[in-house]
């Protein structure tokens, strides 16, 4: 049977539409699973690997005690992006989590090795990753949540100078989704949203530079003000000693203890 060009195009378009419909259904089912997983917790911490090392043990009583929570979940994504945190925050709001703490670092700044974060290509890559994660949960029975594994913060400290040269200086061409972030507080109801700036090591501050540190602080404060959200921000003028970190950014056990202590003191002052 001879198939003409028109029929081939129509068949291709039908297959593409079916694939798009299927992908959308999987993404929506994955989002519902994520909301279901978040719903039992009254407090969630969302961020990158910096947040994972700040709260190294999942469900640690120290984090629960620091913010007067009954139950807490920490999600710290390796190379987590603004788009990742936006998806997780929206799920937490939909799940009516009482309090959500969000790391602000990847929302208002980016490392130098991550190019064109607001490009269409990066947007498509994010959706592809979200689809892969949703498919693993919906179709294969995997866990919809990643980034809740323990952090090994008892290893010996080390700093990779070559890696530092790739990461810094910080860039400030984000956020990419200001309009969507603006909708978060409007849809949060009685849920509390709290932004968290992660502390810096001395070597990271040196690589960022004084002007970069000032720009980060301004960007974080500006973003929090635009959304009318509270911002926990360790004093950028106070240097944490190197034994508070495992490398240029990730906290040691000592750093984690100090972070939670300061967060708890700040949280008490907000009451």
> 219: part of which helix (H) or strand (E)?
helix 210-227
Sign of the CA dihedral running 214, 217, 222, 223: positive
Burial label for 98, CB within 10 Å (0-12, 13-18, 19+), is middle
Burial label for 2, CB within 10 Å (0-12, 13-18, 19+), is exposed
Q: Examine residue 200 and state whether it is found in any structural domain, yes or no.
A: yes
Say if residues 242 and 205 touch (Cβ distance below 8 Å).
no
Sign of the CA dihedral running 29, 30, 34, 37: positive
Instruction: Using alpha carbons only, give the angle 28, 32, 36 rounded to the nearest 5 degrees.
Output: 170
| Dist. CA 195–CA 198, nearest whole Å | 10
Two structure tokens written together for 193 = 């949203």
- For 155-209, write each residue's pLDDT tens digit: 777 877 888 888 888 999 889 999 999 999 999 888 999 999 999 888 888 888 9
- For 130-157, write each residue's pLDDT tens digit: 778 877 877 788 888 777 777 777 777 7
Instruction: List the one residue out of 118, 109, 139 whose CA is nearest residue 200.
Output: 109
| Dist. CA 92–CA 39, nearest whole Å | 7
| Dist. CA 52–CA 79, nearest whole Å | 11
For residue 191, what is the domain's CATH number? Answer: 3.40.50.1110
- For 27-41, write each residue's pLDDT tens digit: 777 788 888 889 999
- For 48-98, write each residue's pLDDT tens digit: 999 999 988 766 666 677 788 888 899 999 888 999 999 999 999 999 999
Between the alpha carbon of residue 220 and those of residues 45, 119, 156, 196, 242, the distances in Å are: 18, 22, 31, 9, 24
Residue 221 is given by DSSP the state H
Enumerate residues 6+ apart whose C-beta is below 8 A from 200.
208, 213, 236, 240, 249
Q: Examine residue 27 and state whether it is found in any structural domain, yes or no.
A: no
Enumerate residues 6+ apart whose C-beta is below 8 A from 247.
157, 158, 159, 160, 201
- Tell me what the pLDDT averaged over the chain comes to: 85
The answer on pLDDT for 1 being more than 60 is: no
Q: Examine residue 139 and state whether it is found in any structural domain, yes or no.
A: no
Q: Examine residue 33 and state whether it is found in any structural domain, yes or no.
A: no
Between the alpha carbon of residue 242 and those of residues 138, 213, 238, 250, the distances in Å are: 43, 18, 13, 11
Specify the pLDDT at position 176: 93
Q: How many domains does the chain have?
A: 1
Q: Examine residue 129 and state whether it is found in any structural domain, yes or no.
A: no
Say if residues 89 and 114 touch (Cβ distance below 8 Å).
no
Q: Examine residue 82 and state whether it is found in any structural domain, yes or no.
A: yes
Q: Rounded to two decimals, what is the model's pTM?
A: 0.88
Q: Examine residue 55 and state whether it is found in any structural domain, yes or no.
A: yes
Domain region containing 260: 40-114+147-269
């Amino acid at each position: 049977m001879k198939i003409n060009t028109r029929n081939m195009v129509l068949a291709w378009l039908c297959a593409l539409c079916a694939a798009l419909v299927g992908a959308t259904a999987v993404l929506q089912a994955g989002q519902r699973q994520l909301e279901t997983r978040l719903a039992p917790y009254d407090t969630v911490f969302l961020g990158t690997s910096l947040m994972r090392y700040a709260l190294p043990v999942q469900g640690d009583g120290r984090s629960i005690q620091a913010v007067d929570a009954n139950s807490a979940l920490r999600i710290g994504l390796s190379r987590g992006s603004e788009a990742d945190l936006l998806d997780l925050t929206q799920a937490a709001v939909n799940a009516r989590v009482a309090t959500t703490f969000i790391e602000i670092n990847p929302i208002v700044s980016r490392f130098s090795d991550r190019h064109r974060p607001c490009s269409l290509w990066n947007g498509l890559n994010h959706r592809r990753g979200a689809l892969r994660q949703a498919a693993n949960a919906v179709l294969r029975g995997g866990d919809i949540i990643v980034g809740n594994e323990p952090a090994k913060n008892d290893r010996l400290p080390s700093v990779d100078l070559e890696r530092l040269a790739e990461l810094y200086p910080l860039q400030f061409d984000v956020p990419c989704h200001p309009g969507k972030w603006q909708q978060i507080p409007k849809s949060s109801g009685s849920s509390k949203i709290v932004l968290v700036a992660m502390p810096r090591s001395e070597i990271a501050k040196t690589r960022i530079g004084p002007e970069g540190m000032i720009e980060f602080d301004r960007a974080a404060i500006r973003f929090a003000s635009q959304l009318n959200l509270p911002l926990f921000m360790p004093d950028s003028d106070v240097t944490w000693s190197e034994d508070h970190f495992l490398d240029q950014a990730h906290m040691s056990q000592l750093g984690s203890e100090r972070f939670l202590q300061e967060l708890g003191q700040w949280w008490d002052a907000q009451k």
